[in-house]
Structure 1
Amino acid sequence: MLGGASKIAAILVTYPFQVIRTRSQQRPSNDGIPRYTNSWHVVKETARYEGFRGFYKGINPNLLRNVPASSITFLVYENVLKFLRPTGRND
């Protein structure tokens, strides 16, 4: 549970930066003119035309992919630690 919750918190904080990075890497239009000139331009245009929600566009598939993977990773990690930890008995 904590692995999934921590991943949700991390995605909510960092997702706007991923949107900015992705949009700044877009290919130019057919005219060869880039849609965005720099990262700050991406922020201004997204805020102007899409509002705050524009920075979280497409977050649902990201959450559906990453939260279960993170939860499973933490579950496996804890079980492997439990398996490898010495029992404390001297046989």
Structure 2
Amino acid sequence: MRAMPIAAIAAALVLSLSACSDDSEGDAAACKKAIAEQMKAGAEGSKDKPASCKGLDDKTLERLFKEVISDSVKDIKVPTPEVPTPDIDVPTPDLDLPEVP
């Protein structure tokens, strides 16, 4: 299951990013890209707040994390097993049913 590590990493990043804020302006697009790169790096990646995210408020950071997580979940393809359908002849009775008006 790939979703559990993604959720754990995202939770760690949200907590680390929301702990510090800055008054300078941040770039949301660059921040989203940096967050996605950190998530791809996984446990080996940096747990620090990306420089491009400094200055963004907590609400914006949370929205960016949700977007990155939903994008990464869309990329996960769950294999659907092929189940053979048996060829069965099911006899159907010939019933004399009245006509329905």
For Structure 1 versus Structure 2, the TM-score category normalised by the shorter chain is 0.3 to 0.5
Normalised by the length of structure 1, the TM-score is 0.33
Kindly indicate which of the two structures has a greater share of residues assigned to helix. Answer: 1
Tell me which of the two structures has the higher relative contact order, counting C-alpha pairs closer than 8 angstroms and 6 or more residues apart: 1
Task: State which structure, 1 or 2, has the greater radius of gyration over its C-alpha atoms.
Answer: 2
Normalised by the length of structure 2, the TM-score is 0.31
